[in-house]
Amino acid sequence: MQVVADHGGQGGVALFCGYCHQREALPPDAAERVGYLQHRLVLLKQARESDEAPLKAVATLRRAWIPVLLLFAVLMVYQLYQNVILIRSLQKTAPDAVAHMVAPLTFQAAIIGGYAIGYLGMSLAYKRAVKPLLRAKPPAALGVALRCRSCGGDLPSVRAPHVVCGYCSAHNLLDSQVTQRASQLLQEEIAAYQARAHGVYSTDAFRAPTKAFYRWAIPGALVIGVVVASVLPVLIALLALIG
């Protein structure tokens, strides 16, 4: 049975059967409750999308990770080859100018290394802080369906890494933790409801991956820059000896 608009009434609600295609209008009080619940689902969806908005930037970065890394790798190899040729040429014609090659090479290595380290930090933060919030809720009792992480509605039984709620359209992750830690997850859910009842509610977890990217990328780039700036003159000197 599906809840649909009753075309015969004024703003009424009816139940529609997908097998016999019959409609049955709901009583006014039941139709009012259905309308109220539908409105609540819309508000819940809007609140969820607002809370999870920071994840859009994370998803974009995750999709672009491999292409960008490959592009950086190709450019770095090409640039390294060009710089080696240039350094060997300068060592013969203008040895004093070789020292000026350290800064651009250090900057390139710091940018690429910082990006890689930032992505690593972002992935760890996503796994620790965000993934548990996207997981479907365990069954309220043994033998019943999993529940939506957002609205709590029953989820369809599927064999997939995630399932979309038919009520609020939320994406729910499905993994072994839902069943293996069902009792513990139920206790955590109750604790979260109690905390929310006391006014404790935070959406900072959804911003954690973006914050982690910069928190890891900037120090990582600085460390790599210092290491490269220290090692590169030695390598240049060895290249001069080999040449």
Specify the pLDDT at position 46.
79
**Residue 18 in tokens:** 């997908």
pLDDT at 226 over 90: yes
The tens digit of pLDDT for each residue in 14-70 reads 777 877 877 777 777 777 787 778 788 888 787 777 777 777 777 776 777 778 778
Q: Partners of 5 in the beta sheet? A: 13
Specify the pLDDT at position 4.
66
Residue 136 binned pLDDT confidence (cut-offs 50, 70, 90): very high
The tens digit of pLDDT for each residue in 72-84 reads 778 878 877 887 7
Q: Partners of 135 in the beta sheet? A: 173
pLDDT at 9 over 60: no
Per the model's pLDDT, the better-predicted residue between 90 and 151 turns out to be: 151
The tens digit of pLDDT for each residue in 177-209 reads 888 888 888 888 888 878 777 776 666 788 888
Contact at 8 Å (CB) between 84 and 239? yes
The tens digit of pLDDT for each residue in 163-178 reads 999 888 888 999 888 8
pLDDT at 3 over 70: no
Per the model's pLDDT, the better-predicted residue between 93 and 64 turns out to be: 93
In order, the DSSP letters of 82-113 are HHHHHHHHHHHH-GGGGGGGHHHHHHHHHHHH
With pLDDT > 90 as the criterion, what percentage of the chain qualifies? 12
Mean pLDDT for 103-120 is 86
Angle at the Cα of 188 (from 143 to 165), degrees rounded to 5?
A: 55
Specify the pLDDT at position 180.
85
Neighbours of 169 (CB within 10 A): 14
Domain regions of the chain by residue span: 2-51, 54-135+175-242, 136-169
Specify the pLDDT at position 2.
66
For residues 30 and 199, what is the distance between their CA atoms, to the nearest angstrom?
32
Q: In angstroms, how far is CA 77 from the centroid of its own chain?
A: 30
Q: Average pLDDT of the chain?
A: 81
How many residues are given for the chain? 243
Q: Find, among 99, 107, 118, 100, the residue nearest to 79 by Cα.
A: 107
pLDDT at 219 over 60: yes
